[in-house]
Amino acid sequence: MLDVLFAGEVFCDLVFGGIPHLPTPGTEVYADRFAVSPGGTATRAVATARLGLRTGILGVIGTDLFGEHLAARLAAEQNLDPTWLRRDPAVHTPVTVAVTQEHDRAFLTYEEKGALRPEVWEGELPAVRFLQLGIGRPLPAWAAEFRARGTRVVGGVGWDPTGQWSRELLTRLAEVDVFICNAVEATSYTRTGTVEQAVKVLADHVPDVVVTDGGKGAVAVDGATGELVRVAVPRVPAVDPTGAGDVFTAGLITGLNHDWPLTTRLRFAGLCAALSVQSLGGANSAPRWEAIDAFLERTPGIPDADLIRIRAIKP
C-alpha cells in the first residue's frame, strides 16, 4: 500500500538562476546558475519520497530526451514508485523554462494534450491513503473510485492562463477532502481581498483548507474546530523559489499521514519549503532529512511538541 499517489502533469524543468532582469525582445541575459530538474507533479512526488513516505506518481511522459531524463531521475529516488508513470512515444514530454530571481520567478511552458493527466486509466490502480491531484479541470472518474475506497483526496490548482479564475472550481471542492493553493489563487477564485477572507469562503466548500502566502507563511482552517490559523515560515536566504509550493504540499501531506495537529503540519510544511528555496530547482532542492535535522538543531523557538513529532518520523 502506498502512503500517497500524485497524479498530474510531469514536467522537465530547465531552471536559469541569478539573472539581473528578464530579457526584453532583441536582447540576451546571462544566468549564473542552471539546473535540470523534475517539475510539476514530479516535484511533489520527489519531495514526499525524501520525507520517507511510500510515494507513487501517475502521469504520462514521452520517450524523448526529456522523458528519458525524467524516467531515470525518478527511478533513482528512494521511496518513489514510478509504476504508474506511463511512457508514450507519441507524446512530447512537457518542458518548462523557469527564470528565477531572488524572490520570484517567471515560466515559459510547452505542453501537449497527450501529456495531460489521463482521464481514463487502463490497468490496476494501487491502494493508497492519500491521492493528490489538480482540480483546475473536472476530476477523472478514477479519482472518485479512490475516494469511494476510503482514500483521502488532496486537491490543488495552478496558474490560470485565461485570467478568468472561474468560480466553477468552487463546486469541485466537494470532490476533495483537503484543498491547498496559494494566495493569488485563493483570492482570485473567491473574489476576495485578503487571504483570511479567501480561506473562510473556501472553508464553506471543503473541510480542510490551506493557503500559502509566500514569505508570510500559511493560513488554514482547522476542519475539526473551524479555527483560523496562521503559521509563519522560517526566514532564509532565497536562491530559487521554484517548486516551493510543491515542497510545502509534500510536507503538509506528510503531517496528514502522521495525524499531526494542524499547526504542526503547517510548521513542518513551511520548514520544508524554506529549505527548498536555498538552491536551484524544485525537485532537486527538496530537502532530505540531513538538512531538516540541521535546521532543527540551529533554529530556536520551535515548540518542543513539534520537535518530538518531527524527529519521531525520521526514517
Looking at residue 247, its pLDDT comes to 97
The pLDDT-based confidence of 103 (bands split at 50, 70, 90) is low
Looking at residue 102, its pLDDT comes to 61
List the one residue out of 234, 242, 216 whose CA is nearest residue 291: 234
User: pLDDT, tens digit, for every residue of 196-250?
Assistant: 999 999 999 999 999 999 889 999 998 878 889 999 998 888 877 888 999 999 9
| Bigger pLDDT: 130 vs 124 | 130
User: pLDDT, tens digit, for every residue of 258-308?
Assistant: 999 999 999 999 999 999 988 888 899 999 999 999 999 998 889 999 999
SS (H, E, C) 155-212: EECCCCCCCCCCCHHHHHHHHCCEEEEEHHHHHHHHCCCCHHHHHHHHHCCCCEEEEE
Rounded to whole angstroms, the Cα distance separating 14 from 111 reads: 14
The answer to whether 140 and 117 have CB atoms below 8 angstroms apart is yes
Cα torsion angle, 72, 78, 82, 83, sign: positive
Non-local (6+) Cβ contacts of 192 within 8 A are 186, 198, 201
- The mean pLDDT of the chain is 94
Cα torsion angle, 141, 111, 45, 122, sign: positive
The architecture CATH gives domain 2-312: 3-Layer(aba) Sandwich (3.40)
Rounded to whole angstroms, the Cα distance separating 89 from 155 reads: 29
Whether 190 shows a pLDDT value over 90: the answer reads yes
Each domain of the chain, given as residue ranges in start order, spans: 2-312
- Whole-model pTM? 0.95
Rounded to whole angstroms, the Cα distance separating 278 from 240 reads: 6
List the one residue out of 9, 120, 117, 115 whose CA is nearest residue 62: 115
Q: For the chain, how big is the Rg over CA atoms in Å?
A: 19
The pLDDT-based confidence of 81 (bands split at 50, 70, 90) is very high
Looking at residue 18, its pLDDT comes to 87
Q: Where are the beta strands (DSSP E) in the chain?
A: 2-7, 10-17, 33-40, 55-61, 80-81, 85-87, 95-100, 105-110, 128-134, 152-156, 178-182, 208-212, 218-221, 228-231
